[in-house]
């Protein structure tokens, strides 16, 4: 075995006021991401959210000004220059791709997913999601044709305000970079090192190992494999999707995107049962023909905690780049597996 799921177990001894100051030992686990070594502290609290956040009031209040609603999308959103994208926007089904007014790079867009302003977690269909990812892929294909220096692509989704979403109307954010950026750059570099050291692809091997261990492997939708991350980047869980044999979003077939959307609908349905109403998603793509990498995606829930509206991102995560998780990935896998 060349993938190492490294964990260190500790216990914290204290005299607990809830048990007449009885001496108790609280177990804590540090887990190291098998690719990058990034650390997640697991402190099991059997944590669950007490209720769903109701966004219907804020949805009603924002609908009449929303630039992504069908009545305004033609007049209130920007257009791409004619020499880049003829007709100024890309449309597939209900999805519309427009330039991002607050760009994150030279090539930064927004994909309005559907015509409906407020969509609840369980209302997304495979067809609507697949069209939105296909439209985002089409945009990135045009970027790659227009500017050959562009090789690194992300498609992100911030769903609802706790995730950083500033517009209720559901939208994706495809973005392109000339060189790898952020945590993706670390994953790409470490995938290359893994390939050099062991002679095979980390991502393909991860799927095989997780299948063999059976503790975090959720299942497959077509060719796409789904796993709960060993060292999650959220208080509750992180789900990873791996696209075998594909290194770039540019080479995904329609069936790959439909299968991805299929898995996503299952995860959204599960999150709804856990009272989760907001999430972040990233779909990451390496350059074409970089055989040490695979297209992959990550999804994490986002929320605020009652009664104070406490954020789910504190100093350890925001400044120390140290994740904290209150639920074991294996527990989430057992629950979520039933949806696959």
Q: Which is nearer to Zn ion, 118 or 326 (CB)?
A: 118
Q: CB of 248: closest distance to Zn ion in angstroms? A: 31
Residues in the interface with Zn ion (CB under 5 A) total 5
Q: CB of 96: closest distance to Zn ion in angstroms? A: 12
Q: Scanning the structure block, which residue is given the tokens 């109403």? A: 277
User: Segment contacting Zn ion (CB under 5 A): 38-46, 114-122, 236-244, 286-294?
Assistant: 114-122
Residues 6+ apart with CB under 8 A from 32: 4, 6, 7, 38, 39, 231
Residue of the chain from 31, 38, 89, 117 that contacts Zn ion (CB under 5 A): 117
Q: What is the DSSP letter of 103?
A: -
User: Segment contacting Zn ion (CB under 5 A): 58-66, 150-158, 209-217, 259-267?
Assistant: 58-66
Q: Which is nearer to Zn ion, 172 or 227 (CB)?
A: 172
User: Segment contacting Zn ion (CB under 5 A): 64-72, 82-90, 95-103, 325-333?
Assistant: 64-72
Q: Which is nearer to Zn ion, 72 or 212 (CB)?
A: 72
Residue of the chain from 59, 69, 76, 220 that contacts Zn ion (CB under 5 A): 69
- HEC string for 290-329: CCCCCCEEEEEEECEECCCCEECCCHHHHCCCCEEECCCH
Q: CB of 126: closest distance to Zn ion in angstroms? A: 22
- CB of 323 closer than 8 Å to CB of 233: yes
Angle at 64 between CA 58 and CA 68, to 5 degrees: 90
Instruction: Give the side-chain half-sphere CA count within 13 A for 211.
Output: 11
- CB of 331 closer than 8 Å to CB of 283: no
User: Segment contacting Zn ion (CB under 5 A): 117-125, 144-152, 216-224, 273-281?
Assistant: 117-125
Q: Which is nearer to Zn ion, 117 or 151 (CB)?
A: 117
Q: CB of 279: closest distance to Zn ion in angstroms? A: 19
- Work out the burial of residue 239: count CB atoms within 10 Å of its CB; fewer than 13 is exposed, 13-18 middle, 19 or more buried: buried
The yes or no reply on residue 169 touching Zn ion (CB under 5 A) is yes
Q: Which is nearer to Zn ion, 117 or 328 (CB)?
A: 117
Q: Which is nearer to Zn ion, 30 or 69 (CB)?
A: 69
**How many other CB atoms sit within 10 Å of the CB of residue 69?**
17
In the chain, DSSP assigns E strands to 7-16, 22-32, 39-42, 90-92, 95-99, 107-112, 152-159, 171-177, 217-221, 224-228, 239-242, 278-285, 296-302, 304-305, 310-311, 323-325
Residue of the chain from 39, 49, 66, 299 that contacts Zn ion (CB under 5 A): 66
Q: Which is nearer to Zn ion, 67 or 219 (CB)?
A: 67
The site map against Zn ion for 134-163 (x = CB under 5 A) is: ------------------------------
Q: Scanning the structure block, which residue is given the tokens 């392109």? A: 176
Q: CB of 153: closest distance to Zn ion in angstroms? A: 26
Radius of gyration for the chain, computed over Cα atoms and rounded to the nearest angstrom: 21
The helix/strand/coil state of 50 is: coil
Q: CB of 171: closest distance to Zn ion in angstroms? A: 9
Summarize as ranges the residues that interact with Zn ion (CB under 5 A).
66, 68-69, 117, 169
């Amino acid at each position: 075995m060349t993938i190492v799921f490294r964990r260190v177990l500790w216990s914290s001894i204290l005299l607990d006021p809830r048990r007449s100051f009885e001496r108790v030992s609280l177990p804590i686990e540090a887990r190291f991401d098998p690719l990058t070594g990034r650390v997640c502290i697991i402190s099991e609290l059997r944590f669950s959210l007490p209720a769903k956040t109701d966004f219907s009031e804020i949805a009603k209040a924002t609908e009449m000004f929303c630039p992504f609603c069908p009545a305004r999308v033609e007049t209130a959103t920007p257009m791409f220059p004619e020499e880049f994208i003829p007709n100024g926007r890309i449309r597939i089904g209900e999805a519309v791709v427009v330039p991002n007014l607050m760009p994150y790079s030279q090539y930064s867009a927004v994909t309005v997913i559907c015509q409906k302003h407020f969509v609840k977690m369980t209302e997304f269909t495979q067809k609507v999601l697949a069209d939105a990812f296909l439209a985002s892929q089409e945009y990135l294909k045009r970027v790659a044709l227009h500017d050959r220096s562009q090789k690194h692509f992300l498609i992100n989704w911030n769903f609802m305000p706790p995730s950083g979403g500033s517009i209720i109307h559901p939208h994706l954010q495809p973005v392109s970079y000339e060189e790898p950026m952020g945590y993706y750059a670390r994953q790409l570099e470490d995938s290359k090192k893994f390939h050099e050291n062991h002679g095979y692809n980390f991502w393909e091997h991860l799927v095989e190992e997780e299948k063999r261990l059976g503790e975090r492997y959720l299942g497959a939708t077509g060719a796409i494999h789904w796993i709960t991350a060993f060292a999650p980047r959220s208080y509750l869980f992180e789900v990873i999707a791996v696209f075998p044999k594909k290194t770039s979003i540019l080479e995904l077939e329609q069936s790959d995107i439909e299968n991805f959307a299929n898995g996503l609908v299952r995860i959204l349905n599960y999150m709804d049962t856990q009272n989760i109403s907001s999430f972040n998603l990233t779909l990451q793509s390496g350059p074409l023909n970089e055989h040490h990498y695979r297209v992959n995606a990550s999804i994490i829930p986002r929320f605020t905690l009652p009664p104070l509206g406490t954020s789910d991102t504190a100093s350890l995560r925001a400044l120390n780049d140290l994740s904290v998780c209150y639920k074991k990935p294996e527990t989430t896998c057992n629950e979520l597996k039933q949806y696959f």
